[in-house]
Amino acid sequence: MTETQTHARLSVVVPCFNEEAVIRETHRHLVAALEKVPHLDFELVYVDDGSRDATLKHLRGLQRMDERVRVLALSRNFGHQIAVTAGLQSAAGDAVVIIDADLQDPPDVILEMIDRWRDGADVAYGIRTQREGETAFKRWTASAFYRLINRIADVAIPLDTGDFRLMDRKVVDAFLAMPERDRFVRGMVAWTGFRQEPVPYRRAARIAGETKYPFRKMLRFAIDGILSFSLVPLRLATYVGFFASILALSGIVYALALRILTDIWITGWTLLFIAIVFFGGVQLVLIGIMGEYLGRIYGEVKRRPLYLVKERLGFAPTGRDSR
Ligand code: UDP
Ligand code: MG
């Protein structure tokens, strides 16, 4: 993008779930950061993901005061990744930024992402060099998760990267053309290819409010990510099956050899019982893994819409916004 061209249009997508404590402050920071960028028009697409507090009221207020604000209110809580997808679907910019509503992703980093984009990058993704205000447990589980998924996933998903990123229009369109329901956004964007560049930043602590990702949701998110990007868990059944067969075979050979070559009889049912229980357990676990994939296939074939919208404010009545 050269300086002589007309203004580039940037959309910033902000998923919000019960963020009444921070949302106005976030808006102020975003606007302050984006107004520093020369030759740029921007819109802020706030997606209210079925908040149960006053978030939507605040968003309506922001929209009345600032015509660059768009509000997309979903009919209930659909979850972070779906909220991000909804925002991308309604964003009109030549490039789109995804950023959390809690200022953990510093808005000034967007400026650097825009520079990368103007230098030709198609995706500029934030890499967390430090995480502040998060428990050692969260940092440790997050780091273990990124390393695991990288070992077994079919595409390379950058380490320590969240959804904070800038994407060129062509990447956004490629992303939106993927119809899947389990939307592991960072994996799907990595899958598209193109020119993707890291932008290191320090992840700050939340300025207010609480995390919407308690352990249970984090685990769900991790499982979603792994299952939608890897078939390794399914292959586990084959490996364990081979291992068990070899074990059983050596047991048979051993018992036979003892019987033929010595006068020792192997007796007792304890070992037998343990073996049955053990392999019963293993089989149930593996059936469970298959069930996880099957459940996802079931979800896909139902072909329900990803989300429903209850309110749209500030969007242009025509063009891509009316989709
Ligand atoms: N979020 C959302 N829907 C949800 C949960 C979270 O839109 O069901 C939003 C939330 O408002 C925030 C972002 O997703 O803007 C990240 O959530 P959070 O900060 O709670 O996660 P953490 O940073 O603790 O991982
Ligand atoms: Mg956060």
Splitting the chain (323 residues) into consecutive groups of 10 residues, what average pLDDT does each group show? 69 95 94 92 95 95 94 95 95 95 91 94 89 77 83 81 92 93 88 91 78 81 84 80 80 82 75 77 82 85 90 77 43
To 10 degrees, what angle do helices 270-302 and 232-261 make?
A: 160
Residue nearest to atom 14 of ligand 1 (CA): 80
- Counting from 1 in the atom list of ligand 1, the atom nearest the Cα of 99 is 15
pLDDT computed for residue 134 by the predictor: 73
pLDDT computed for residue 96 by the predictor: 97
pLDDT computed for residue 74 by the predictor: 97
For residue 211 and ligand 1, the question of a CB distance below 6 A is answered with yes
pLDDT computed for residue 318 by the predictor: 58
Residue with tokens 């992703």: 105
How many angstroms does the Cα of residue 313 sit away from the middle of ligand 2?
Answer: 25
Task: Name residues whose C-beta falls within 8 Å of residue 86's C-beta, 6 or more positions apart in sequence.
Answer: 47, 72, 74, 78, 306, 307, 309
Find the largest Cα–Cα distance for the chain: 95
Task: Name residues whose C-beta falls within 8 Å of residue 174's C-beta, 6 or more positions apart in sequence.
Answer: 192
pLDDT computed for residue 5 by the predictor: 58
How many angstroms does the Cα of residue 256 sit away from the middle of ligand 1?
Answer: 61
- Counting from 1 in the atom list of ligand 1, the atom nearest the Cα of 210 is 20
For residue 20 and ligand 1, the question of a CB distance below 6 A is answered with no
Residue nearest to atom 23 of ligand 1 (CA): 211
For residue 16 and ligand 1, the question of a CB distance below 6 A is answered with yes
How many angstroms does the Cα of residue 214 sit away from the middle of ligand 2?
Answer: 11
d(CA 286, CA 185): 27
For residue 101 and ligand 1, the question of a CB distance below 6 A is answered with yes
Asked whether 88 and 176 are in contact (CB, 8 A), the reply is yes
pLDDT computed for residue 49 by the predictor: 95
How many angstroms does the Cα of residue 293 sit away from the middle of ligand 1?
Answer: 26
112 backbone dihedrals φ, ψ, rounded to 5°: -70, -35
**Strand 69-74 vs strand 309-313: parallel, antiparallel, or unpaired?**
antiparallel
For residue 88, give the nearest of 178, 204, 158, 27 by alpha carbon.
Answer: 178
pLDDT computed for residue 28 by the predictor: 95
Which of 13, 25, 102 to mutate for ligand 1's pocket (most ligand atoms within 8 Å of CB)?
102
How many angstroms does the Cα of residue 139 sit away from the middle of ligand 2?
Answer: 13
To 10 degrees, what angle do helices 80-90 and 169-176 make?
A: 120
How many angstroms does the Cα of residue 112 sit away from the middle of ligand 1?
Answer: 23
d(CA 106, CA 127): 12
Which of 132, 212, 217, 220 to mutate for ligand 1's pocket (most ligand atoms within 8 Å of CB)?
212
For residue 308, give the nearest of 41, 49, 15 by alpha carbon.
Answer: 49
pLDDT computed for residue 208 by the predictor: 74
Return the number of other C-beta atoms located less than 10 Å from residue 75's C-beta. 11
